[in-house]
Amino acid sequence: MSIFGNILNKIFHRGGAAASTTSTTTSGTPGATTAQAPLPDASSAAAAGTAAQAADQAARPVVDVEEVMNGLAEKNSQKLNWRTSIVDLMKLLDLDSSLQARKELATELGYSGAKDGSAEMNLWLHKAVMKKLAENGGKVPAELKD
């Protein structure tokens, strides 16, 4: 699994009470199903695929990243600043935060600068992780994504 995949997994599966689900039904009758006609062409198939992705995202639980991370920080004996430090964020999630792991994460997320563990790289990584968490259904405070 990718490093970002591990981050996502750790946050989203520790969310528990912080996750709230939203669901939609296809009709007003509980348990009702609808038959779907065959798709006549590729453009209709693409539209159906897009609609299915939107429905899948709507059915996913929304995880409050801040609440999950604050909860982990409260239980941790170290004082870790996950809000600004990618190293501390990874430590709170009990993941490898070594330079090698951060280099791999930088490559995975498309960082184009020098992968030398600089403050610039680490700040970029933190913002990129927060943005990706939000893109994947995480509720992330705006100041952590900008």
Distance CA 124, CA 111 (A): 8
pLDDT tens sequence across 47-65: 555 555 555 555 567 899 9
23 and 69 Cβ atoms separated by less than 8 Å: no
Say what the pLDDT of residue 20 is: 41
Where do the structural domains in the chain lie, given as residue ranges? Answer: 3-17+61-145
Q: What is the dihedral of CA 72, 75, 78, 81, to 10 degrees?
A: 30
Distance CA 98, CA 15 (A): 25
H or E element, residue 88: helix 86-92
Tell me 138's DSSP state.
Answer: E
Strand extents, DSSP E, the chain:
19-20, 62-64, 138-139
Give yes or no for residue 9 having a pLDDT over 70.
Answer: yes
pLDDT above 70 as % of the chain: 68
- 138-139 β-sheet, strand order: 19-20, 62-64, 138-139
